[in-house]
Amino acid sequence: MPHGRTAVLTGLGTFVPPRVVTNEELSRTMDTSDEWIRTRTGITQRHWADPGTATSDLAVEAGERALKSAGSGEADLVVLATTTPDHPCPATAPEVASRLGLRGVAAYDVAAVCSGFVYGLASAAGAIAAGLAERVLVIGAETYSTILDPEDRTTSVIFGDGAGAVVLRAGDATEPGALLGYDLGSDGSLKDLIIVPGGGSRQRSAAAAPGAPEPDRADAYFTMQGKAVFRHAVTRMAASSRAMLDRAGWAADSVDRFVGHQANVRILHAVADQLGMARERTVVNLDRVGNTSAASIPLALADAVADGQVTPGDRVLMSAFGGGVTWGSTALVWPEITAY
């Protein structure tokens, strides 16, 4: 087995659907306002996919751009992090790989909700370390608009659709772009904090019991206990980030940019405060795209690169919290790449 093989980020690509949904548009169909949304989340708009567009469509677009960024259309493995697969079965990643011309390669989905991209990176890095792959395409893609209750202002105003992808290659831990380790965790006792209650074996089995009531149509929609999620997200992301900083041997004040899961600007600032990091070092793009779940970190990275917030040589810390509940962090020194 190869020794010392490290996953090195060598390509970055993103895609959001062209349709922009503003706070004002949402306020015309539900009991909310631009001020209410902005003051509680920091979001001013989000992108939603047009009818007929699926998660795989966004994933293919982002994947193509990441492969272009990496300078090669080749990958040995495709890892797709998503909460909104095209179908409950089969996984969406094999179709994405096929449409990208990567027929015959290994491909699978990762379901860790908003932590999915970090989990995907760790999974891909493991395949590289084990010698199973030389190049891995990791994609976070979501069409949350398909699972939102259009009458629930606590969720519909928060989430957007989009996809972000990176290419990892086998390399050395001393190279810029090398992922310097991971911190991952979960607590299944809190599964009800972020959940789509219906659509799985639990609902189908319960519905088959004698005398069982008809399934509630509302169970098909995403639900979230916002206040509890806020509290756990801050605590878990801060602790995970500290663990990752220890693994990397970095002090918090040496981090140039903190790229956290783009759920809520108040969460991002609270995590930075707990780490003793200046809020100005926090990358924020959720005001323009909303919470895109597994796609949020690569989308934020691409925007930060485009506007010069992240430059080659910068120390970048990434952290996320999602349903399950799950959490995870990783870090790298930013490489010289062109994002698409």
Q: What predicted TM-score, i.e. pTM, was given to this entire model? A: 0.95
Q: Count Cβ atoms below 10 Å from residue 307 Cβ, excluding itself.
A: 10
Catalytic residue among 23, 264, 285, 291: 291
- Give the pLDDT of residue 82: 98
Q: Indicate if 89 belongs to the active site.
A: no
Question: Over 70: is that where the pLDDT of 1 sits?
Answer: no
* Number of alpha carbons in the 13 Å side-chain half-sphere of residue 110: 28
pLDDT in tens, 54-77: 999 999 999 999 999 999 999 999
Q: Indicate if 3 belongs to the active site.
A: no
Tell me which residue of 39, 45, 43, 38 sits closest to 22, measured CA to CA. Answer: 45
Both tokens of 296, joined, read: 């949020």
pLDDT in tens, 118-174: 999 999 999 999 999 999 999 999 999 999 999 888 899 999 999 999 999 999 999
Q: How far is Cα 42 from Cα 35, in angstroms, rounded to an integer? A: 10
Q: How far is Cα 34 from Cα 50, in angstroms, rounded to an integer? A: 23
Tell me which residue of 171, 221, 214, 218 sits closest to 195, measured CA to CA. Answer: 221
- Give the pLDDT of residue 2: 42
- Give the pLDDT of residue 211: 83
Catalytic residue among 23, 47, 114, 285: 114
- What integer best gives the mean pLDDT of the chain? 95
Q: What mean pLDDT comes out for the span 227-252?
A: 97
Phi/psi at 271 (5° precision): -65, -45
Q: How far is Cα 324 from Cα 101, in angstroms, rounded to an integer? A: 33
- Give the pLDDT of residue 3: 52
Both tokens of 310, joined, read: 């992240």
Cβ atoms 38, 62 nearer than 8 A: no
Catalytic residue among 23, 47, 232, 261: 261
Q: Indicate if 261 belongs to the active site.
A: yes
- Give the pLDDT of residue 167: 98
Which of 198-202, 227-231, 295-299 shows the lowest mean pLDDT across its residues? 198-202
pLDDT in tens, 282-332: 999 999 999 999 999 999 999 999 999 999 999 999 999 999 999 999 999
For each of the domains in the chain, give its residue range(s) and CATH number, in order of start: 6-171 (3.40.47.10), 182-189+223-333 (3.40.47.10)
